[in-house]
Each structure stands twice: as C-alpha cells, then as structure tokens.
Structure 1
Amino acid sequence: MERNNIFWGHIKENRWPYIIGFALLSISSLLQLLIPQLLGHFTDKLQNATLTLDESVKFALWMIVVGVGIAFFRSTSRIYLFRLSRMLEMKVRGDLFKHWEKLSAQYFNNQRIGDLMSHAISDVGVIREVTMQGYFNIMEAGLLIIVSVVAMVTSVNPWLTLVTMLPLPLLSLLAYRFNKRIMEQSVDMQRAISDLTSRVQEFTAGIRVVKAFVQEKEERKLFTKDNQHAVDMNRRFVRSNSLFGSLSSGIVGFSFLVSVVLGGVMVLKHVITLGEFVAFNTYLSLLMGPIENLGKVVNLMQRGKASEIRLMEIFRTQPDVVDDMAAKQDIEQIEGDIEIRNLTFSYPEAQRPTLKNINLKVPRGSSLAIVGRVGSGKSTLVHLLVRMYNAPKGTVFIDGHDIREIPLRTVRGQIGIVPQDQFLFSSTIRDNIGFDPKPYSDEQVIEASKVAQVYDNIVEFPDQFDTALGERGISLSGGQRQRVSIARAIIKKPSILIFDDSLSAVDTITEDLILEGLKSVMNKRTTIIIGHRISSVQAADQIVVMDEGKIVEQGNHDQLLRRNGIYADMYHKQLLDQEAERQDGQEHDALKARLLQGGAGA
C-alpha cells in the first residue's frame, strides 16, 4: 500500500479521536493554571495576616478538587491518546506484513531476516512511541506554554515574563543543531540492532552446523563484535541525547534564575506582590516540565523520522510479480496443458541468461521429467511456471493462455509444488499437510500421508498428526520432511504437480513405494518431476536433459538410452553405483555371518 506519511495519515484517519483527546488534555492543562492563582491568593492573604481558618479549609478543598480534576482528565486523555498509538502500531505492523506477502521472492532473496524482524519490531515500536509520548508531550507543552505565558503576562507582569522567557528560544536553536546528529545516530543504532538480530537468527538456524564444525568460539567472537557495535552505537546516541538534555536543563535553569532574582527585586520594590511572585514561579514550574519534554520529543521525533524512512522504503517497494492489466480474471481453472516457446530468462543483475531458447510441450495429463547437472536451470524453469519470477511475455503458456494473462491466484492455486528445501512450519504435522486456504478433513490428511509413504512414521509419534514440529520442521528427518511436503502438495489435488528433486532424501525402496502411490494421483494430471536418480524419472512420458540452461536431449527413457548421450551416461553410472553398493552389502553380510559363526564356535 502506497503511503505518503505514516504519522500524518494516521492523524487524518483519526482526527476526531485526536480532537477529543486534545480536548480532555486541554481541560487538564487549564485546571493546572488554577493552582498558581490559588497559591498566589493564599500567599497574599497569609502575608497580610487576613487568612482565616475557614478560608484555609476552603483553599485546601479547592486544591484537592483541582488536583483530582487534573489527575482525572490527564489520565483519561493519556489513555485515549495512547490507545490511538497502539492502534497505529497494530495497523502499521499488519500493513507491513500484508505488504511483505505481496512482494516477490526476489525481494526476500536480497534481505536479511534480522533486518525484517527489526523493521517489524524495533521500527514499528519507535513509531508507537512517537505517537504515544511525542504527540502527548507536544500537545501538552504547546497548550501549557501558550496559556501560561498569557496568564503570566496578564495576571503578574509582562516585563518579568518577557525577560524570563528570553533564554527559552535558545532551545529551538539547540534542537536545530542536534537535529541531524541525533537522526544519523538513530539510523546507525537501528542498523546495529538489525545486524545483531541477524547474527542471533543465523546462529540459531545453523546451530547444528556450528556444533558439528566446533565453531562455538568463532561464533562467540562474531556475536561479541556485533554486540559491542550495538552498544557503541547506543552509547553515541545516549551521549548526544544526554548532552542535549543537559543543555536544555541549563537553559531552563537560567530562566528560573532570572525569575527568582528579577522577581525578588520587583517584590522588594513593591512592583509585584509576594503572592504574584509565588504564582509567577509556579506558572514557570508548570511551564518548564513540558519545555524540557520538548527537548526529549525532538530526539524521539528524529528516531521516528528515521524509522519512518526505513518503513517507507519497504512500503514503496513494488512487487515484481503481479497480475498484468491483461489478466483474465474469469479464468479460475486450468487444465494443465503447458507449452514453452523460445524461452530465454535471466535473473535480475545476472551476467548471462539462466535459461536459453527453451521449447517444450507438455500435454494435459502427461508427465515430464527434467534431469541435468546442478545449476543447469531445472528449478528456474518450474519457478517460472508458478510465477515466482516473471517469464518474458509470449514464452510460457498454460491451456493456450500466456501465463501472465492468468490471475496469480489461479496459477498458484491450481499448481501443487514440492520444493527442494522442504520448508515446514513450526506447527503440527496436520497443519503442514493441510496448508491450504480451504479446510481438509482428517481422512483427506491421512490419505495424503499414506500416498506420500509418511503415514507409518507419523503414527509412531506420541501425538501422531498433532505432533508439533520444531523450527523449519527440524524434529523430522530429511526424508520425513520431504514426504510431508509431498503430502502437502498432493492433498490439494492440483491440475499440475511439480516435484523439484523431492525424492533425494529417501532410499530406493521408499522411492519405489512413493512413485507407486503417486500413480493414482498423477493420473490425468500434468506432472513435472525434477530428479537426479534415473529410477525416479524413467517412467515419465518425456524426459529432457538440461545443461547450461539449454535442453540438450529430449525423448523417453528408451529413446535417450539409444542416443547414448548424457542421459545414457548418467544411467550407466548409477547402475554401476548401485551394483557397487549391492556388492558392498553382500560382503558386509558375509563378514557378519563369519563373525557370528566364529563366536558360536568359541
């Protein structure tokens, strides 16, 4: 969602609640002005020895009433205004999450998780503080300054007020001088927090690798370095903030000094009464707190501006993959007829194309297998089919429609993909298998798990399908994660099924069982299988071999073997590897048998 200004937009949307909150704060501020007047009258009567007991009681009662009124209206206004800040925090964080959901995969490839977490927590927290403390203090200070100065001029002495207020404009100059420094240091501090968050996230995600390679000491050094950097950036900010606060307090203290000295002289010369002197200094006391807070608000506003700039950069980032203007919104189903014409594709900022002149036809209900070396462009091809990236117009077609004319929700809703990384969420197995907008019954979840050959593993867990998985499904083995990912793809019964090297972590026996179980699922569905094992792809209707982004061989299993090219070479190598493994297994079994016989003879 495009935004011009987070703060101003929030105020415009909630103008009436802010007006009500300001009105409540105004009542509280006006009530505070009664205290100097009451103290002034009380002092004059006390000096003139005209104060009676009844009047003392009356003054005390008035002070109590005014104090209760101030407390009530001030606390009510704070609750009212602070609630608005919490609403803004919730809205900005929600809008941020929704905007992230719209952004393309390429955006997240270029971002650190720690930075994203810092935006969602730290930056949004600063936005809340600005609208909570900043707006409240600005409103209170502005109101009290205006009304107090008017009261001091009209009820005490205009010249005393003028001379006392003369040092205060220096606060504006001071704020101006510190403005840029505080903002830059705030940005540095937020970046340091992002770096530290990224370090912790990376460490926790890779804890098994760290321990396996005995890198605890090195990781501790890296963390200490980032931690120290964050402390240093905070210290810089605190030093500037403290210096600004000290200088502000010095200016305010000088105004008090002028008030006491000049006001005392005017009392001695009978220009003002002692009660007016007390009232004036009480006005000044009421005034100085908000004025000092304005200094803190300046710092907070600079932090808020820095955080707003960081968030606005995200909100202004537009997704690379969106529905085109030509998208036919009435297309809600796809049959699965795929055609690729002269497709050449390059990733952003890539030096050379990843895919070069790809031409393919995959009829509806047929199966396509893609094999090739690592980095040959196999996964890139299927990422274009699910529109993780935009293919050039006029190159990828589904059911005769350019894929960019089909709504994203239809493309992704009708394609089931089992990705390479087998990402699982840290919820239950049931939730991971049934990860889809529409709900699935327990019977459907069980059936999908059986087809994926993971049912027997699941029922061995104490909580079975309600077993909570760890971060990224770490509590499951690699093979189990793959099979849960397969179950998640097939349960939605899509028109197109894509398996991106989805059987690499299972043994050949389980692979055969999965492929046998998938026959019923793949029936009448377009299926694309990326694999390295010939055994997992040889039954496909057509097989393409990719190398350096190009299709170098194409045909079915028998045709490719007769061609005696890359595919045949892969096939024969894998046969030799299997034969070597079989012989190693036989030798191992024979050695084990001899050892057992020797033990029995002894």
Structure 2
Amino acid sequence: MNVLRQLQGFFWEKRVYLFLSILCLAMATALGLVYPYLLQRLIDDAIRPENFGLVPQLALTVVGVVTIKAFLQFLHGFYGGRLGNFLAYQMRNACYEKLQFLSFRYYDTARTGDLMSRLTGDLEAIRMFIGFGFAQLLNVVMMVTFGSIMMFSISWKLTLFTMISMPFLVVTALRFESKIHPAFQEMRLALSSLTTAVQENITGVRTVKSFAREPHEVVKFSGRNERYKSNQIFASALWARFFPLMELFANISVVLLLLFGGRMVINQELTLGQLVAFFSLIWYIIGPLWGIGFHINNYTQSKASGERVLELLHQPVDVEDSEDAITLKPDEVKGHVVFDSVTFAYGNKMAAVKDIQLHAKPGSVIGLLGGTGSGKSTIIQLLMHAYNVNSGSITLDGVNVKDIKVRSLRSQIATVFQETFLFSSSIRNNIAYGMKNVSMEDIIRAAKLAKAHDFIMEMEHGYDTVVGERGMGLSGGQKQRIAIARALLKDPKILILDDATSAVDMETEHEIQSGFQEVMNGRTTFIIAHRISSLRHADEILVLDEGVIVQRGKHDELIELDGPYRDVYQIQYADLIARRSGGTVEGQVQS
C-alpha cells in the first residue's frame, strides 16, 4: 500500500469521487443480502404453507431491490470512472513535465520505448485500479463481513462448520499474490524492452534497409518477444497451479454446508428456507474469496506499474536552479564567456574535458576542432549548463552559470546541432519554435540568411508545408538550413554552431557562412566544425584531443606550426596545395 500512499497526491483533490464510489458499491453489496432473505421468505412463508398470495409481493420487492442496486452500481461506475480519469490526467501531466526538466544525464541512458510504456500501459493499469479495483477490493471485505454476520444470525454452528476451509483459501490466495507480483514486474520490463525494439526499428528503418539487416532485426525482435512470451507463460502457470486449489477449498465449504446443513434440516434445527438462504450466502462469501486472485492480480499489476511511474517521477534532477539564482536581463547580456580550469566526466568514466581554459570576449568567434570524442560538444553542453562541472567554473559576464536560472541562461543561447531535429509541423512553426509574436517577415529574413528561403518557396505550400516526423521528406541539408534559420530567428547573445553545415555542399556552406558574418556581429559565437573552411575566420581556434586543448590560436598562426591543425588542413586541402606547389600530394603532406 506504500505505492498507493505515494500516488495519493494525484487523486486526493477528487477524493469525494472515491468515497462516493465506495459508498455506492457498499450499498449495492448490502442490498445483495436481501436476496437470501427473500428466498427464505419465499420457501418458509409462501411455498411450504401454500400462502401463494405472498409471491407477488416478494416479486415486486425483488424488482425494487434490483432497480435500486442497478442504479447504485451505475453511480459506482460513474464516480469511479471520473476518479480514474482524473488520476490518469494528473499523472500523465506530471510525468510529461518531469521528462521536460530531467537533466541531460538521464537521457544519456534512457530508452524511448521504456518511457512510452510507462506513460501508456503503466498509467492505464494504475487508472483502472484506483478508479475501480480499489473499491472492488474493499467490496470483497464488505461482502465477506456482511455475509458472515447474516450467516451467524441464521446458525452459528453451521457457519463455523462451513468456514473450516476458508483460511486455506485465503492463505492460497496470499501465496499466489506473493509469487505473481515479481512475475508481473518482469513482464512489464519485458514489454518495455519489446516496445523499445519496435521504436528503434521504425526510427532507424532506413539504416536497417540500407544495410539489408531485416533478418537480423527480426531475430532480435523475436528474442525479446520470446522473453515476453516466457514471462506470460510463467504467469499463466502460476494461475494454473493456484486457482484449482482455491476452487477445491471453495467447494469443500459447499460440501460441508450440504452435509451438516441437510442433517440440521432433517433434525428440524433449521428450516428449509434457512438452508437455501445459507446456500446463497455461502456463495456470497466464496465468490469474493475465490475471485480474490483476480483482484490481487489487478492490485499487483497496478503496484508494479505504480513503482515504475514513481521511479520516473522520483528521478533526481542533476541541474536545478539554486535558491538565489538570478534571471538575466536580455538587454544587459554581453556574451562574455570564461572557462576557468574546467574538468568534467560523464559518470564514472574518464574525464571528457580536462583543465579547459577559454576566454571568449563579447562578439568574438571561437572555433573548436578535434576528432570524435575529443570533447568539443561537451564544452558546449557545459556552457548551456546541461551538466554540473566536476571542478573549475564557467562564467557568463562574470556570473557563474550555476548561479543563473537555467531557463534564463538558455534563452540567451541558440544552438544548431549536428543532428538536426524538426517537429512534425509546418516549416513556419519549426523556424519559429520557442518564439512568441514573431512576424512572417522575421521568419523569412532568418530563412534567407540560412539560404533556406528558395527551396521552401519551391514547395507546394511554401512555409505552411508540413514536414514529416523528424523532418522526413526533406534532405539533410534542407533540414539543417531550417535549423539554422530557427537559431538565427532567436536573436541570441551566444550562437553555437555544432557542425551546422556538415550536411550541405561546399557552395551552400560558403553562402551560409557569408550570411553568418552578418548575424555574428555583436554575438559571441562558438563553431564546432570538421572543415577548416568553417573556422578560418575565427578569433581563436581551440584544437582538442582526448579532452585536452593541444593547440590554440588563429588560422594563419596554426597552419604555420607543426601539429594536428596543420595535419587536418593539409588533408582537406591536399589537392589545392599540390596544384599550387606543382608537387604531389604525398610530397606536400610529408613536408
């Protein structure tokens, strides 16, 4: 029940629905006890003394009871449904909000399919139990209690005889619950793994097909499907083992009732009507106890689901605003960035960057060059306060980024990532993403600077063209230019270009770079690039290797020095160098 207590805050506001649902179900349950009493009256007061005039009266009473009971059950379903839907609505919003504010560190290892499973299947299991299952579980207690009281009022001796096997039924049900709960937890994990496989395959379908790996993906999915099937079979085996035992103990009670109850009728210690009423009441008790496995099943599923959802909601947020964090005033931000002896490592791994010293004056252009894993993107993510540094400090205009509200800091930064992401919406909305009250003229101006306007206007619906999921339907270069336009429209104080022109040709890159010269004025710009051509106009270029700055300086200075920058330059411009020198590529590279 600890899980339910933690979930209480999501539905306690509408607790009146819970109480009304339980009350209506309790009243409907109590009315159900009228049937055995009416059966006793029918046999003892109408049939045996042949007082048939009483039958219509009893029949009308039954009709009235049934009508009232049906209405109460309707109210139980109505209030239970309202409660469950309110709970699901609140939890879905809470989970989605949590996902928005979880740190980058969480998403480094998170699986999309697993998260989708928690927000759909797990939430539905919780909704059904809180809305209906909890009241039904309480109803089991009420039915057993009310039924037992009425049975004792008829004959305490017969009640004790018939209940001899009840403890065995309860123990079996409890043992079933203790074994089925871990099984359902494993089943949820298997389902999460299954949905992750489907999501990854659909997302990467072009990669799968281009490498002709369809058979491999089928085998991989079959393995996860086999795991899910095995968990289902194991759970079914538990049901097959325990439910026959529960049925056996339930029917023993009926046998004892007929044996001792029949003898009591023969000895005139009990009327025939009382025996029939007793027989009806025993099923009134056995039914809930027999079906307690079903209710326990619902409870264990919702408990396992609740644990998974609460695990998400209780995930720590690594990067949070401190109590005294400030909000930047946009008009006063200059864009003066300083990295002072910054070292950072992802988890327990080796340091991604070590002792980084960087001084970016307002309006300067800083270039970052290095191989894969050299720490270029890490520096940018630390500037955005995506992670907390292990040592050292990062300041913006003299203020440590840890002392600036995250939202305020990032509102002054626009980033064009190497891996472009577009939403399934119109091009206009993708360019204006995150901006309010943006005019169409501003959108077009940004698109022109990014060299995207011409190809957008060639589309049937222009800026109202809806792009597919993740920008499907556009080439890599087109998506990247739209992403550049989105960043330029933000009018940031700090502009980050993370290999922003990697998906465009050299000619288009030159045109975009020309447009950047205009928008870079007055902004501090960080350019991550593999092409020397993107960095040659930078005020300072940092060359990184395994998280360490191994060279720094301007383009003209670095190509005169032996080192990785000159090596990259010679590789990329080998043909041009060879033509100018009249020598061979090999000879030039060696020199």
Normalising by structure 1, we get a TM-score of 0.91
Q: Does the 8 Å CA contact 1:86/1:128 hold for their aligned counterparts?
A: yes
RMSD: 2.3
Give the corresponding residue for 1:466.
464
Query: Which amino acid in the other structure matches residue 21 of structure 2?
Result: G
CA distance, structure 1, for counterparts of residue 285 and residue 178 of structure 2? 27
Per-residue deviation, residues 66-118 of structure 1 (Å, max 9, x unmatched): 10111110121122123212222222222122122221111111122222122
Question: 408, 411, 429: which is aligned to 2:409?
Answer: 411
CA distance, structure 2, for counterparts of residue 320 and residue 306 of structure 1? 26
Equivalent positions of 1:199-218 (< 5 A) are 199-218=197-216
Q: Does the 8 Å CA contact 2:352/2:547 hold for their aligned counterparts?
A: yes
Equivalent positions of 1:403-482 (< 5 A) are 403-436=401-434, 438-482=436-480
Asked if 1:401 corresponds to 2:399, the answer is: yes
Q: Report the CA distance between 1:511 and its aligned residue.
A: 0.9
CA distance, structure 1, for counterparts of residue 493 and residue 145 of structure 2? 70
Asked if 1:353 corresponds to 2:351, the answer is: yes
Give the corresponding residue for 1:275.
273
Asked if 1:20 corresponds to 2:1, the answer is: no
Q: Report the CA distance between 1:444 and its aligned residue.
A: 2.3
Question: 508, 513, 535: which is aligned to 1:537?
Answer: 535
Identify which range, 418-427 or 435-444, moves more after superposition.
Answer: 435-444
Q: Report the CA distance between 1:167 and its aligned residue.
A: 1.4
Identify which range, 210-219 or 497-506, moves more after superposition.
Answer: 210-219
Q: Report the CA distance between 1:380 and its aligned residue.
A: 0.8
Give the corresponding residue for 1:124.
123
Give the corresponding residue for 1:34.
34
CA distance, structure 1, for counterparts of residue 391 and residue 407 of structure 2? 19
Q: Does the 8 Å CA contact 1:334/1:410 hold for their aligned counterparts?
A: no
Give the corresponding residue for 1:69.
68
Give the corresponding residue for 1:223.
221
Q: Report the CA distance between 1:338 and its aligned residue.
A: 0.6
Q: Report the CA distance between 1:188 and its aligned residue.
A: 1.3
Partner of 1:395: helix, strand, or coil?
strand
- Cα distance change, pair 11–509 in 1 and its aligned pair in 2 (3 A): closer
Question: 286, 289, 295: which is aligned to 2:287?
Answer: 289
- Cα distance change, pair 334–163 in 1 and its aligned pair in 2 (3 A): farther
Query: Which amino acid in the other structure matches residue 239 of structure 1?
Result: A
Asked if 1:368 corresponds to 2:366, the answer is: yes
CA distance, structure 2, for counterparts of residue 7 and residue 340 of structure 1? 43
Q: Report the CA distance between 1:357 and its aligned residue.
A: 1.7
Query: Which amino acid in the other structure matches residue 353 of structure 1?
Result: A
Per-residue deviation, residues 319-378 of structure 1 (Å, max 9, x unmatched): 11111344234666632111111112222111x322122111111112111112222111
Equivalent positions of 1:268-347 (< 5 A) are 268-329=266-327, 334-347=333-346
- Cα distance change, pair 132–581 in 1 and its aligned pair in 2 (3 A): farther
Q: Does the 8 Å CA contact 1:367/1:527 hold for their aligned counterparts?
A: yes
- Cα distance change, pair 580–434 in 1 and its aligned pair in 2 (3 A): farther
Q: Does the 8 Å CA contact 1:331/1:407 hold for their aligned counterparts?
A: no
Asked if 1:59 corresponds to 2:87, the answer is: no
Q: Report the CA distance between 1:33 and its aligned residue.
A: 1.4
Query: Which amino acid in the other structure matches residue 471 of structure 1?
Result: E
Q: Report the CA distance between 1:522 and its aligned residue.
A: 1.4
Partner of 2:414: helix, strand, or coil?
strand
Per-residue deviation, residues 49-75 of structure 1 (Å, max 9, x unmatched): 33234x222211111111011111012
CA distance, structure 1, for counterparts of residue 31 and residue 81 of structure 2? 21
Asked if 1:188 corresponds to 2:193, the answer is: no
CA distance, structure 1, for counterparts of residue 222 and residue 579 of structure 2? 47
Q: Report the CA distance between 1:412 and its aligned residue.
A: 0.9
Partner of 2:261: helix, strand, or coil?
helix
CA distance, structure 1, for counterparts of residue 367 and residue 425 of structure 2? 32
Q: Does the 8 Å CA contact 2:21/2:135 hold for their aligned counterparts?
A: no
Give the corresponding residue for 1:593.
none
CA distance, structure 2, for counterparts of residue 49 and residue 581 of structure 1? 123
- Cα distance change, pair 570–491 in 1 and its aligned pair in 2 (3 A): same
Question: 177, 180, 189: which is aligned to 1:179?
Answer: 177
Partner of 1:426: helix, strand, or coil?
coil
Identify which range, 268-277 or 287-296, moves more after superposition.
Answer: 287-296
Identify which range, 403-412 or 427-436, moves more after superposition.
Answer: 427-436
Q: Does the 8 Å CA contact 1:3/1:315 hold for their aligned counterparts?
A: no
Structure 1, unpaired ranges of 5+: 583-602
Q: Report the CA distance between 1:12 and its aligned residue.
A: 4.5
CA distance, structure 2, for counterparts of residue 462 and residue 229 of structure 1? 48
Q: Does the 8 Å CA contact 2:342/2:391 hold for their aligned counterparts?
A: no
CA distance, structure 2, for counterparts of residue 575 and residue 134 of structure 1? 71
Equivalent positions of 1:135-146 (< 5 A) are 135-146=134-145
Q: Report the CA distance between 1:236 and its aligned residue.
A: 0.9
Query: Which amino acid in the other structure matches residue 39 of structure 1?
Result: L
Give the corresponding residue for 1:254.
252
- Cα distance change, pair 200–477 in 1 and its aligned pair in 2 (3 A): same
Per-residue deviation, residues 400-426 of structure 1 (Å, max 9, x unmatched): 001111110111111001112112222
CA distance, structure 1, for counterparts of residue 439 and residue 260 of structure 2? 84
Partner of 1:354: helix, strand, or coil?
strand
- Paired positions, count: 578
Question: 378, 388, 391: which is aligned to 2:389?
Answer: 391
- Cα distance change, pair 90–245 in 1 and its aligned pair in 2 (3 A): farther
Q: Percent identity?
A: 35
CA distance, structure 2, for counterparts of residue 216 and residue 561 of structure 1? 47
Asked if 1:490 corresponds to 2:488, the answer is: yes
Give the corresponding residue for 1:165.
163
Q: Report the CA distance between 1:493 and its aligned residue.
A: 0.8
Identify which range, 464-473 or 516-525, moves more after superposition.
Answer: 464-473
Identify which range, 493-502 or 119-128, moves more after superposition.
Answer: 119-128
Give the corresponding residue for 1:586.
none
CA distance, structure 2, for counterparts of residue 229 and residue 153 of structure 1? 50
- Cα distance change, pair 5–105 in 1 and its aligned pair in 2 (3 A): farther
CA distance, structure 2, for counterparts of residue 403 and residue 23 of structure 1? 55
Q: Report the CA distance between 1:9 and its aligned residue.
A: 4.0
CA distance, structure 2, for counterparts of residue 274 and residue 456 of structure 1? 93
Q: Does the 8 Å CA contact 2:27/2:72 hold for their aligned counterparts?
A: yes
- Cα distance change, pair 385–37 in 1 and its aligned pair in 2 (3 A): same
Q: Report the CA distance between 1:505 and its aligned residue.
A: 0.9
Give the corresponding residue for 2:109.
110
Q: Report the CA distance between 1:237 and its aligned residue.
A: 0.9
Identify which range, 566-575 or 272-281, moves more after superposition.
Answer: 566-575
CA distance, structure 1, for counterparts of residue 452 and residue 564 of structure 2? 33
Give the corresponding residue for 1:44.
44
CA distance, structure 2, for counterparts of residue 524 and residue 330 of structure 1? 17
CA distance, structure 1, for counterparts of residue 575 and residue 124 of structure 2? 58
Give the corresponding residue for 1:576.
574
Partner of 1:510: helix, strand, or coil?
helix
Give the corresponding residue for 1:597.
none
Identify which range, 311-320 or 520-529, moves more after superposition.
Answer: 311-320
Q: Does the 8 Å CA contact 1:42/1:275 hold for their aligned counterparts?
A: yes
Moved over 6 A (4+): 579-582
Per-residue deviation, residues 213-249 of structure 1 (Å, max 9, x unmatched): 1111121112122112211111111221243333222
CA distance, structure 2, for counterparts of residue 304 and residue 581 of structure 1? 72
Partner of 2:497: helix, strand, or coil?
strand
- Cα distance change, pair 140–361 in 1 and its aligned pair in 2 (3 A): same
CA distance, structure 1, for counterparts of residue 364 and residue 4 of structure 2? 50
Q: Report the CA distance between 1:501 and its aligned residue.
A: 0.5
Q: Report the CA distance between 1:577 and its aligned residue.
A: 4.3
CA distance, structure 2, for counterparts of residue 247 and residue 503 of structure 1? 69
CA distance, structure 2, for counterparts of residue 163 and residue 3 of structure 1? 38
CA distance, structure 2, for counterparts of residue 233 and residue 538 of structure 1? 59
- Cα distance change, pair 314–359 in 1 and its aligned pair in 2 (3 A): same
Query: Which amino acid in the other structure matches residue 63 of structure 1?
Result: V
Per-residue deviation, residues 231-279 of structure 1 (Å, max 9, x unmatched): 1111111221243333222222222222222222222221111111122
Per-residue deviation, residues 306-328 of structure 1 (Å, max 9, x unmatched): 22222332222201111134423
Q: Report the CA distance between 1:502 and its aligned residue.
A: 0.6
CA distance, structure 2, for counterparts of residue 577 and residue 379 of structure 1? 30
